[in-house]
Amino acid sequence: MKNDIQIVDYIKATDPYYLQMTTNIDTFDTFFFTKQHHHYMQQALLEAEQAFMEDEVPVGAVIVHNGHIVGKGYNQVERLKDPTAHAEILAISAACQTLDSKLLSGCSLYVTLEPCPMCAGALVLSRLDRIIYSATDPKMGACGSIYDIIQDTRLNHQIEVIQGIMENESEALLKKYFQRKRK
């Protein structure tokens, strides 16, 4: 049986993701959280890939509560002919239904693209704890890019934010979609 330090050393030596991240990670705790974020963002990316396959702008989201995914969604604006059918909105509705609650306190949202003003507003209303997003959106982003709705102290709830988890993968998928659209 290995002790904790041996396990940490073993992971450091063998985990390709850790090796890739070692330049900006100092402690195992940070590594552990990054790994967890990576895991859930992977699930959000699967949602985004589903959107891509259905010829929708590829954005996916999952909401996590106590280590379980309680809601997920992908962009369905075209299919539903509804400009509000963003991945985050669908994930919020699904999570509220799962938890049988109008509030999402204690939940984290993983989304492949920075939320827009509408979604950021809905997330504030949901009282969610944390948003983890991958790619930034310089045209519509409302979590720090052009607005910072989720941390605006004039509103009655602020949300912690983490950016950049699997940014390259999310950006690549969006790029692939827009290249296909231009053809």
- Enumerate the active-site residues: 88
DSSP state of 127: T
From residue 80, alpha-carbon distances to 54, 76, 85, 93, 105 in Å are 12, 6, 7, 15, 28
Nearer to Zn ion, 45 or 119 (CB): 119
From residue 5 to residue 34, the character string flagging contacts with Zn ion as x (rule: CB under 5 A) and all else as - is: ------------------------------
Could you say whether residue 107 binds Zn ion (CB under 5 A)?
no
Binding part of the chain for Zn ion, among 6-14, 48-56, 101-109, 110-118 by CB under 5 A, reads: 110-118
Could you say whether residue 119 binds Zn ion (CB under 5 A)?
yes
Angle between helix axes 4-14 and 28-53 (nearest 10 degrees) is 50
* Tokens read off for 176: 């692939």
The whole-angstrom separation of Cα 157 and Cα 59 is: 25
Could you say whether residue 150 binds Zn ion (CB under 5 A)?
no
Phi-psi region of 68 (alpha: psi -120 to 50; beta: other; left: phi over 0): beta
Minimal CB distance residue for Zn ion: 119
Nearer to Zn ion, 104 or 119 (CB): 119
Binding to Zn ion in span 30-89, by CB under 5 A: 86
Could you say whether residue 131 binds Zn ion (CB under 5 A)?
no
Could you say whether residue 116 binds Zn ion (CB under 5 A)?
yes
